[in-house]
Structure 1
Amino acid sequence: MAVKIKLTLLGRISKPFYRIVASDQKTKRTGKALENLGYYDPLTQPFTLKVNREAVAKWIKNGAQMTETVRKLLTT
């Protein structure tokens, strides 16, 4: 099973809110996650980003790949 660290969309129309999750790469954007790793709120000024970096490091060590968007968020 290939695991991706990606964003899942929550919130409502015009009020997006994202969770950062580890999930199978074939699951849908709103599909079931293996583990919640944090969240991202783009509407607050400055944007809110809270991540469990130890859990992210654990998943990467076990072979998970990050999406490009998550990689950019975690390097800011």
Structure 2
Amino acid sequence: MNEKNMLLSMIKKYDFTLKELNLYLDTHPNCRRALSMFRKYRELRRDAVQEYNKRFGPLTPEQVTDTQSWTWVEDPWPWERR
């Protein structure tokens, strides 16, 4: 697996973990351990997405940083990038 796919896989794992923690916290809002884990994985995900954006381009249109033109459509879509 290349670095790009490994990073994307990590982001997906963080997304899954955050969703599961979100559901757990909905029913256990005072669980400090779960809240701490949620914060940790949210930060890990943020860092992984920033690294992906820096190295391979934005995953979503909201992550486009060009202020002069709409560059989202100029590059291949995230699923088309190799």
Whose RCO is larger (CA < 8 A, sep 6+)? 1
**Which of the two has greater helix per residue?**
2
Please say whether Structure 1 and Structure 2 have the same fold, judged by a TM-score greater than 0.5: no
Select the structure of larger CA radius of gyration: 2
Q: Normalising by the residue count of structure 1, what TM-score does the alignment of the two structures yield? A: 0.30
**Which of the two has greater strand per residue?**
1
